[in-house]
Structure 1
């Protein structure tokens, strides 16, 4: 929790310092153009990568595989989108890095080596005979057993 609070304070300070240094080096308008260009490039990459991840997720679910990597990719793309909304070079750099599939794969592998997945499903599914399920809950009446109201 301490590191999170420190990060909330330090990130804007670092972003402002980088803005100032880049602005002094290349000027105001090129600096603003870089920030806007990074946001536009990020938007295009997010759309492309997001659609790709949705296709992979659909394929994993239909094949009956655990979509762990696909879900992790989706979360990292969402984090990249959040970071692209924040103005600044450091957050844009991290966001654009998260949009690259090799970087996401490396992060996933390093995190997956520390996590153990346990299948905790306890439900069992029983396939019933369709003919038996049709007769279940049906009461067959003869003509003499039926009385209109």
Structure 2
């Protein structure tokens, strides 16, 4: 039988892993969404932005995957149903608007804001160990900069 201390330690570990898994899935979804948007966009500036965002989310997912492995856990391997639904919604919107770059950008922004809010929520409501917190704060900063960079995209 486990002691109260052992149970508490196990619970803390499980919550840490769960929070990281949720951020991992969010990054999988964002990566897939940006790849989809990249394929549909017409503007070179927008394509360049989307390609960079897709890469950054893939890198973030890889970093979180490694963190989960260091905790002796198995990372999830795919995105969420919500992410799949958002990509289907993007297909519908793109079909309706005729591959309008503005619509593509708006849908990407919606997804990016959801990812940003997920990071903010996790960092506010869960006490991550210092090394993990620093990595997640770096991801959050990149997400915030990404939203600011959208304003500089031309030809949309």
Of Structure 1 and Structure 2, which has the larger fraction of its residues in helix? 2
Is the TM-score greater than 0.5?
A: no
Q: TM-score range by the shorter chain?
A: 0.3 to 0.5
Larger radius of gyration: 1
